[in-house]
A = this chain, B = another copy of it.
Amino acid sequence: MEDFLQKAKSSSRVLNTLSGKEKNRILREMAQALRSNTMNLMEANALDMAAGEKNNLSSALMDRLYLDEKRIDAMAVAVEEIAALKEPVGRVLDGWLTEDGLKIEKVSIPIGVIGIIYESRPNVTSDTAALCFKSSNVCVLKGGKEAENSNQAIAKVLQAVLERNNLPKELISLLPDSSREGVAKLIKMDKYVDLIIPRGGEGLVRYVNDNATVSVVKHDKGLCHTYIDKDADQDKAIKIAINAKVQRPGVCNAMETLLVDKAVAAEVLPKLKAEFDKAGTDLRGCGETKVIISVDDATDEDYDTEYLANILSIKVVDGVEEAIEHIVRYGSGHSEAIVTENITTAEKFLNNIDAAALYVNASTRFTDGGAFGFGAEVGISTNKLHARGPMGIDGLTTYKFKIYGDGQIR
């Protein structure tokens, strides 16, 4: 492992010698190579699908795992879109002249070697490899066990393009030991690895955070709330609540708990129930909710659960203060929304909750790189430092100060 990572680290210097034009040409070549290897990739994927069937993977997981011509073309298109992004390295982020006459430039640079630990979707392999290559980082990829054949086939295609261009294949590598022990080693290799991004289950993210000596940017859970204020436009509120829960319940920016101001609960809850019933949502509510609409009990555990499913817990609260209290207690710092027409109430909500993304009169579902206009994304950071919320390609850079003098001493 150490040999492998040492090679990965030393290969990173070659990336400094590539111009943006060259990187983009190679990325487009990778996209073409994915397309022309469609049959190989599908064969490798068939092995994973067969193993998945044998291991009784859920149909949702099987669907995420599956590759066909259309999905492989979408992978290629994503790589081309990444090639089209603005060069992220070498940007002058700030610059000034000091009192001593030194000219300081703060310039964006790659982070170095980035380890990414993710789950079943094989397209993450090509997306992440392309994002790292575009930002002149070396990536060490550790995908889900169930996608191993697909991921290896994809990496092989990309590495062949690197080698055709006289670049070391270590620039895009799969972790050689993909076992639990392999991950345990990887996250302690701060001598060679500059950043670990764990995407996936709570257990994995916690394990990596607690045991890594390498810096970690977590992509953890989203326990998101929507609060309907007494001053809400109720039509907007209903549309937003339904969208936040139902449009795609299995993702981290979906709503898990709905908070309703008691001043309007009697009016708005029956309307909400009618819409949620159409969507087949499993509703659970507090005592006050149950006085107004007929739903199951919501327990404390409900308020603490990221369902990732078409289930919603509801709580009636005494205005924005109690909504804030509840969110401070149960929220995961991902995305929180208020629906209100009152500007003072809105600002109170925005200023008193610490989360990556805070919405006024919009659905929490907008928290992603695409909707934010970042182009491709590495994921959604739940870290407070370095990158927060949708993590675009700029999140894969850091900076250095270049200082130009004319013989200055202190």
Contacts and interface: CB of A to CB of B under 8 A. Distances in A.
Contacts of A13: 328, 352
Interface residues of A, number: 66
A403 B100 contact: no
A363 B355 CA distance: 42
A384 B217 CA distance: 13
B243 A410 contact: yes
Residue in A194, A240, A359 with the greatest tally of chain B CB atoms within 10 Å = A359
A209 B239 CA distance: 46
A172 B111 CA distance: 34
Number of copies: 2
A362 B112 contact: no
A385 B215 contact: yes
A66 interface: no
A236 B407 contact: yes
A365 interface: yes
A239 B407 contact: yes
Contact of A410 (B190, B366, B384, B408): B366
Contact of A100 (B328, B366, B388, B407): B366
B384 A194 contact: yes
Interface in A368-410: 371-373, 383-386, 388-389, 398-410
Contacts of A190: 209
B360 A410 contact: no
Contacts of A366: 98, 100, 102, 403, 405, 408, 410
B362 A400 contact: no
A372 B210 CA distance: 35
A295 to B, nearest CB: 23
Interface in A337-353: 350-352
Given A98-B373, A363-B408, A389-B400, 13 more contacts: A13-B328, A100-B371, A104-B372, A247-B409, A350-B402, A356-B401, A357-B401, A358-B400, A362-B403, A362-B406, A362-B409, A363-B405, A388-B401
16 contacts: A100-B371, A102-B371, A111-B384, A111-B385, A112-B384, A210-B213, A215-B383, A355-B400, A357-B400, A358-B400, A358-B401, A359-B403, A361-B405, A361-B407, A362-B405, A362-B408
